[in-house]
């Protein structure tokens, strides 16, 4: 066999920068000229992509939904253009390190990202991070995770997912998620958010992978972090490790630090649900000790609303507390009793057994 190698032509040796200048003139001519240049070769097609005028499309929502074993669905929604488009991505593409939707994401300015019913795995996070590096995320205001399965993630998974998107978020929501552990969402994750920017943090409907887990590692550190920076976003904290004293301190700090215009504009609300270290009766006494008036009333469901006021003012900071449900409390007590009984059992050596 004789192998013949063709030498590259002198035209192929032209640097891309010079070729860009030549092809720039084609853009001002008829569309047929542009198409002819693209059909000439792969190199010409790539060069035309490089010099093409990129029209940025503002995505009102990027919705990423799970399709079971089939893969994921990416839905692009534009309120401005009243358009929507759906793309199904199989799991083999998600797992591939070479998969890229650069052509699409370079044209996106994303405002909201919503994840629904997907497993938060490292493969999915890496896939999304690769796409987000091409998009304009300066207008991103919301990240919502709904019915997401955390069982395949670890403490670093959410940290890596938040890294490229957290600084501009105004709304951060994790709702009705399953397979969670204590370190699935922590104080360190909330610290990634830009405190002066974020307006709402919602951690609700938490479902743990194990019955032995009592709460997320979101504790007093998160509230102290926001209070120290003078930021008081509306919060919903479910099954967290915050304590009564810190919730009262956070309330007191709002009255002392929040500017007058914001106090007159709205009252503040912080909802603490099923947090074992926050007690309603203790909360009232701690508020009185800090010189705050506290009135409680029944809210919807198991919520008890505490309207906290400063003396001689009408401004209110509302704390909504929800205790553990009776069934959950009974299960917790049952587990603790079993652990105590197991610890008190004596092991009899085989030689003394009958």
Residue 351 DSSP code = G
pTM confidence score: 0.77
Report the chain's mean pLDDT, rounded to a whole number: 83
R_g of the chain, CA atoms, integer Å = 28
pLDDT tens for residues 95-132? 999 888 887 898 899 999 999 999 999 999 999 999 99
pLDDT tens for residues 143-183? 999 999 999 999 899 999 999 999 999 999 999 999 999 99
Residue 11, number of CB atoms within 10 A of its CB:
7
pLDDT tens for residues 293-303? 888 887 777 78
Residue 349 DSSP code = P
List CB contacts of 242: < 8 A, sequence separation 6 or more: 218, 219, 220, 222, 223, 272, 275, 277, 278
CA distance 236 to 299: 15
Contact 308, 258 (CB under 8 A): no
Q: Which residues pair with 58 in a beta bridge?
A: 109
Residue 246 has pLDDT above 70, yes or no: yes
Residue 266 has pLDDT above 90, yes or no: no
pLDDT tens for residues 10-22? 667 777 777 777 7
pLDDT tens for residues 60-69? 999 999 999 9
Alpha helices in 133-219 (DSSP H): 155-162, 187-191
* Residue 51's pLDDT band (cuts 50, 70, 90): low
Q: Which residues pair with 113 in a beta bridge?
A: 62, 143
Give the 3-state DSSP-derived string for 232-249, with helices as H, strands as E and coil as C. CCEEEEECCCCCHHHHHH
* Residue 28's pLDDT band (cuts 50, 70, 90): low
């Amino acid at each position: 066999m004789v192998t013949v190698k063709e030498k590259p032509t002198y035209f192929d040796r032209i640097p891309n920068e010079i070729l860009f200048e030549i092809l720039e003139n084609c853009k001002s001519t008829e569309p047929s000229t542009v198409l002819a240049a693209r059909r000439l070769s792969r190199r010409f097609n790539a060069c035309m992509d490089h010099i093409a005028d990129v029209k940025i499309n503002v995505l009102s929502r990027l919705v990423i939904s799970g399709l079971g074993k089939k893969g994921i669905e990416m839905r692009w929604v534009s309120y401005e253009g009243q358009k929507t488009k759906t793309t199904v991505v199989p799991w083999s593409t998600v797992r591939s390190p070479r998969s890229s939707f650069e052509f699409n994401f370079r044209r996106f300015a994303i405002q909201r990202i919503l994840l629904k019913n997907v497993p938060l795995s490292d493969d999915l996070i890496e896939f999304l991070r690769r796409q987000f590096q091409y998009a304009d995320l300066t207008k991103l205001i919301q990240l919502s995770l709904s019915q997401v399965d955390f069982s395949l993630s670890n403490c670093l998974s959410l940290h890596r997912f938040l890294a490229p998107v957290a600084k501009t978020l105004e709304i951060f929501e994790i709702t009705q998620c399953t397979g969670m552990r204590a370190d699935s969402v922590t104080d360190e994750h909330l610290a990634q958010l830009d405190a002066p920017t974020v307006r709402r943090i919602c951690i609700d409907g938490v479902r743990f992978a194990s019955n032995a887990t009592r709460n997320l590692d979101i504790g007093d550190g998160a509230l102290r972090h926001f209070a120290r920076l003078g930021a008081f976003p509306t919060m919903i904290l479910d099954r967290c490790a915050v304590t009564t004293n810190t919730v009262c301190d956070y309330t007191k700090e709002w009255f002392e630090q929040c500017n007058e215009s914001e106090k007159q504009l709205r009252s503040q609300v912080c909802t603490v649900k099923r947090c074992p270290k926050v007690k309603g009766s203790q909360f009232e006494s701690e508020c009185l000790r800090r010189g705050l008036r506290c009135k409680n009333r029944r809210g919807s469901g198991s919520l008890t609303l505490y309207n906290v006021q400063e003396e001689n003012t009408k401004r209110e900071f509302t704390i909504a507390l929800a205790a553990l449900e009776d069934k959950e409390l009974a299960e917790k007590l049952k587990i603790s009793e079993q652990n105590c009984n197991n610890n008190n059992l004596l092991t009899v050596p085989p030689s003394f057994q009958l």
